[in-house]
Amino acid sequence: MNRDIPKWRIQLAGPAEVEGISRLLYESFVEYESLYTPEGFAATTPKAGEIQKRIDEGPVWIVIGNDEILGTVSAKVEDDSLYMRGMAVHPRMRGEGVGELLLGHVKEYARVSGFRRVFLSTTPFLDRGIRLYEKFGFKRTTEGPHDLFGTPLFSMEIVFEL
């Protein structure tokens, strides 16, 4: 294997990827479905139409490997901040570096674009994701939202030095 050839690539998603992103989100979170309210799970695993709305609102990135979507994350501008949402890594790819690639990309995008901070909301039961966010410098905040249709949430942020 040629070590100069990356095994994955990160790219902006478009209309052709909305079904694949929707499927990835479902596959990534279905094991946690019983911990969500039905409405909270539906919001976490949106259908293709909602994915298209996210693409219209801001960048949605995907990690591709072997012509398959292995991970995704989207972002939305809110004032001087970047709201990160819908991050998922296919279960069989967890621990392989896909999440790190996505987070590093979002963090660098926010920094070079002049955002003051990146923030997100997560559920307290997504331990692996929380550890990854903390590894990248995210800290818990008291800022809401505190629930997603009855599913508990907390927020995290990373603030950039100006």
CATH code for position 48: 3.40.630.30
Token pair belonging to 123: 């559920």
Distance of CA 18 to the CA centre of its chain: 15
Q: What is the pLDDT, as a whole number, of residue 144?
A: 86
User: Residue 127 domain-assigned?
Assistant: yes
- Which stretches in the chain have pLDDT values below 50? 1-2
Q: What is the pLDDT, as a whole number, of residue 6?
A: 65
- Do 35 and 123 form a contact (C-beta atoms < 8 A)? yes
User: Residue 4 domain-assigned?
Assistant: no
Please tell me the pTM assigned to this model.
Answer: 0.92
* Residue range(s) defining the domain that contains residue 53: 9-159
What is the spatial distance between Cα 112 and Cα 76, in angstroms, rounded to a whole number?
15
Q: Which of 116, 142, 121 is nearest to 133 (CA)?
A: 121
Q: What is the pLDDT, as a whole number, of residue 1?
A: 43
- Do 123 and 149 form a contact (C-beta atoms < 8 A)? no
Number of domain units in the chain: 1
User: Residue 105 domain-assigned?
Assistant: yes
Provide the 8-state DSSP code for 46.
-
Q: What is the pLDDT, as a whole number, of residue 7?
A: 85
Provide the 8-state DSSP code for 134.
H
User: Residue 1 domain-assigned?
Assistant: no
Tally Cβ neighbours within 10 Å of residue 84: 26
Q: What is the pLDDT, as a whole number, of residue 46?
A: 97
